[in-house]
Amino acid sequence: MSDIEKNLRAEAKKLLEEKKVDYVIGYEESNGKVSPCFIDNAKDVEKLVFNPGCVHNLSVYLLEADAENKVGIVAKGCDSRAIIELIKQNQVIRDNVFILGISCDGVKDLLGKDYDKCKNCKYPVPLIYDVLLGEKKEGKEEDYSDVEEIESMSLEERKKFWNKQFEKCIKCHACRNICPLCYCEECALDDKNWVSKSHKFPEIWMSHLIRALHTAGRCVSCGECERACPVNIPLRKLYRKIGKDVKELFDYEAGVNAEDVPPLVAFDLDKDKEKIKQN
Amino acid sequence: MNEEKEPKIIGFLCNWCSYAGADLAGTSRIQQPPNVRVIRVMCSSRIKPELVLKAFKNGADGVLVAGCHPGDCHYMDGNYYTRRRFVILKKFLEYVGIDPRRFRVEWVSASEGMKFKEVVEGMTNELKDLGKFELQ
Ligand code: SF4
Ligand code: SF4
Ligand code: SF4
Ligand code: FES
C-alpha cells in the first residue's frame, strides 16, 4: 500500500469520525477495476484506494450533493480544476467540501496506456485542497500540439476529419452526463428548438457545435467526455481548441482561480480592442 | 435573380445601430444586393451562437452579425460581449472546417448606410466565389 493510500484512509477516517463530512467520495477497487465509491462510515475507509486506475473525475458527483451535505472528495490536479470551476459558477459551496488533494503521477487506461491528459498535464498538484497527499511536483509546459496538429490541416481536411467523427456519434449523451461542468438543469441539447434527437447530419453537427461552444471558458480538459464516449470521438481535442483561443485572446484559463470572472461575461476594453480582429 | 446561384445570407442586426443603418441604405435608395435576410434583434449581445449555427444548419450560405460600434452600444456594453463571444465562434467554425468568410461580425452605425451596403456587397461577392455552403 502506498503512502498516499495510507494517508488518504487516515484522513478520511478522521473526517468521518469527527463528523466533519457526511460522506467521502473516493475510489475503490474490485477485480482489478477501479470505480468511484461513496463512504459514509469510518469503518469502511479501508476500501479506499489510490492508484493509476483512478482516472474518474469525481467532482461530477458534487452536483448530486444536497445543499446541507458536507462532502469529502478525493481530487487529482485536473479534478481540482473542475471543483474550482464549480465553485466559481456557484454550483458548489466551498465550505461544504473538504478536498483530499492528491499530487498526481498520472493515470492509465485498462491496457496500461497513459491518458492524453496526463501527457501534457500542467497541474498535477491540485490547485485547491484542504490536505495534500504526496509531494508537490512540477507540471509540464503548456502544450497544445494536439490542437495545432488539426489547425495545420486544410479547411477541407478539417471538415472531413470532424464530420467523420460526428458521424460516429450515437447521441448517447454520455459526454454531457459525465462532464462536471455540464450542470444546466435545462440542457440546450434537449431543446428541440435547437436540435432534434436525430444522430444524423445536420442535427448531429449542431449538437456537437452547441456543446463545444458551451464549454467555452469552463472546460478544464479533464478528458472525461472523451473517456466516456463509446465511439471514441476525440472530444477533448475538439474543446481544447476553444480553451486555447480563450487563453490566447483573453489570457484566461478555466479552473485555476475561483475568483476569476468567466471570460465570456467579462471584457477588457484595451486588450480586446487590440487582440480581437473580428473578420 | 437566380435563386439557386445567389448566396443566402442571414443577417442579425441590432435594432439601434445596424438595423437603422440598413434602413438608411434603403431609404437613401443605395443599390445593394438583395441577399441578406434580416433578423432584427434588440442588441448584438442577444445573439446566441446557437442562432448562428441554426442558420447554417438550415441552409444559410453565410451569416452576418452586425451591431453598434464598440463604445456605442445602446445598452452600454452589450457589444463588448458580442465581440468576445463571436471571435471564439469564428475560430471554432474554422477549426471544424467552415470557411471563416461565411461568418462575419461587423460594426455598422445608424448613419452608415454606405458601410452597410459595402458589407453586404463584399460578403455577397465572397460567398459567390465560395459557392453553396455544404455542411457535409
Ligand atoms: S468538456 Fe470534457 S474535458 Fe471539458 S470539463 Fe467536461 S468532461 Fe472535462
Ligand atoms: S451541453 Fe450546454 S446546455 Fe447542455 S449541460 Fe452542457 S453546457 Fe449545459
Ligand atoms: S459520448 Fe460520444 S457517442 Fe455519446 S453523445 Fe457524446 S460524442 Fe456522441
Ligand atoms: S444595441 Fe447595438 S450592439 Fe448593443
Tell me the ipTM for this assembly.
0.95
In a domain, A138, yes or no: no
At B52 the pLDDT is 98
Is the model's pLDDT at B45 over the cut of 60?
yes
CB contact under 8 A, A210 and B70: no
Check if the beta carbon of residue A217 is closer than 8 Å to that of residue A262: yes
Interface of B with A in 82-111 (CB under 8 A): 83-92, 94-100, 104-106
Question: What CATH number is given to the structural domain containing B119?
Answer: 3.40.50
A160 and A269, same domain (yes or no): yes
At B3 the pLDDT is 60
Each residue's pLDDT, cut to its tens digit, for chain A (279 residues) gives: 789 999 999 999 999 999 999 999 999 999 989 999 999 999 999 999 999 999 999 999 999 999 899 999 999 999 999 999 999 999 999 999 999 999 999 999 999 999 999 998 999 999 999 999 999 999 999 999 999 999 999 999 999 999 999 999 999 999 999 999 999 999 999 999 999 999 999 999 999 999 999 999 999 999 999 999 999 999 999 999 999 999 999 999 999 999 999 999 999 999 999 999 877
**Centroid of ligand 3 to alpha carbon of A60 (angstroms):** 17
A54 and A172, same domain (yes or no): no
> Which of chain B's residues have a Cβ under 8 Å away from the Cβ of A265?
81
d(CA A72, CA A17): 12
Instruction: Compare CB distances from B97 to A156, A201, A264 and report the shortest one's residue.
Output: A156
At A277 the pLDDT is 85
A107 and A215, same domain (yes or no): no
In a domain, A178, yes or no: yes
In a domain, A139, yes or no: no
- What is the span of the domain harbouring residue A121? 3-133
A178 and A125, same domain (yes or no): no
| Residue A232 burial by Cβ neighbours in a 10 Å radius (0-12, 13-18, 19+) | exposed
In a domain, A24, yes or no: yes
The domain boundary residue, chosen from A90, A107, A133? A133
- What is the span of the domain harbouring residue B82? 9-127
In a domain, A98, yes or no: yes
A156 and A182, same domain (yes or no): yes
At B1 the pLDDT is 54
Count of structural domains within chain A = 2
The domain boundary residue, chosen from A133, A166, A182? A133
A183 and A127, same domain (yes or no): no
The domain boundary residue, chosen from A103, A133, A163? A133
pLDDT tens per residue across span B71-115? 999 999 999 999 999 999 999 999 999 999 999 999 999 999 999
A149 and A274, same domain (yes or no): yes
Q: Is B76 in CB contact (< 8 Å) with chain A?
A: no
Distances (CA, A) of A88 to A65, A68, A199, A276: 17, 19, 33, 25
Count of structural domains within chain B = 1
Could you say which DSSP state residue A26 is in? E
**Centroid of ligand 3 to alpha carbon of A238 (angstroms):** 13
